[in-house]
């Protein structure tokens, strides 16, 4: 078993080196964006919306199209990487076909803003069950969270939203993740407790 883990470590080092060789920043792939930066990016989106409204214009959100192959490139050493530029989707608040998605993204941004400010974490499932009628389905919320991640150009974890695990751990157990995050399993399902150790 130790041999398998040493192979994983070797592959990890190789991947990091390949990212650097490809001219990509390692931190953009493996680390969280600072809380204050996420808050700042949400506030910028909000300011643009308020500015549009003050000019009596319909606010719009511009998202990189995640489903378009033209927005990614393949590097044989690293895998898929997002391209700069590329195809975007525009969500207009005054367009019947995009207004609902626009509103759902604003609701998610509001929730995420509060989470990041309070340094709290929740699962996507927790967000969904706070208002299942609004989101309609878990799949819809999952897509909205991915859209917010693209809109703010941050990994989902920096949004303080975690994926729901397949299993459930509860009890007198704490563990330390590789990135230094301490996970306390004695908390309730809806109150995940993550602390970065220094």
| Catalytic residue list | 129
How far is it, in rounded angstroms, from Cα 88 to Cα 58?
Answer: 18
Neighbours of 161 (CB within 10 A): 24
Residue 126 and residue 141 in contact, taking contact as beta carbons nearer than 8 Å = no
Residue 110 and residue 149 in contact, taking contact as beta carbons nearer than 8 Å = no
For 50, 115, 186, 195, the CA distances from 53, given in Å and listed in that order, are 5, 26, 45, 39
Cα 94 from chain centroid? 26
């Amino acid at each position: 078993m130790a041999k398998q883990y040493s192979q994983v470590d070797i592959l990890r080092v190789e991947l990091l080196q390949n990212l650097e060789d490809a001219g990509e920043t390692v931190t953009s792939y493996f680390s969280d964006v600072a809380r204050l930066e996420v808050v700042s990016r949400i506030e910028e989106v909000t300011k643009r919306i308020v500015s549009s409204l003050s000019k009596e214009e319909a606010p719009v959100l511009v998202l990189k199209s995640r489903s378009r192959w033209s927005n990614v490139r393949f590097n044989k050493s690293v895998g898929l990487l997002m391209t700069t530029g590329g195809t975007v989707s525009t969500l207009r608040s005054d367009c019947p076909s995009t207004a609902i998605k626009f509103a759902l993204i604003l609701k998610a941004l509001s929730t995420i803003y509060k989470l990041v400010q309070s340094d709290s974490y929740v699962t996507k499932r927790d967000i969904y069950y706070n208002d299942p009628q609004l989101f309609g389905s878990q799949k819809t919320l999952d897509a909205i969270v991915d859209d917010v991640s693209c809109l703010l150009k941050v990994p989902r974890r920096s949004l303080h939203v975690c994926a729901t695990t397949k299993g459930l751990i509860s009890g007198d157990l704490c563990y330390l993740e590789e990135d230094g995050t301490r996970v306390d399993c004695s908390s309730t399902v809806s109150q995940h407790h993550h602390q970065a150790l220094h």
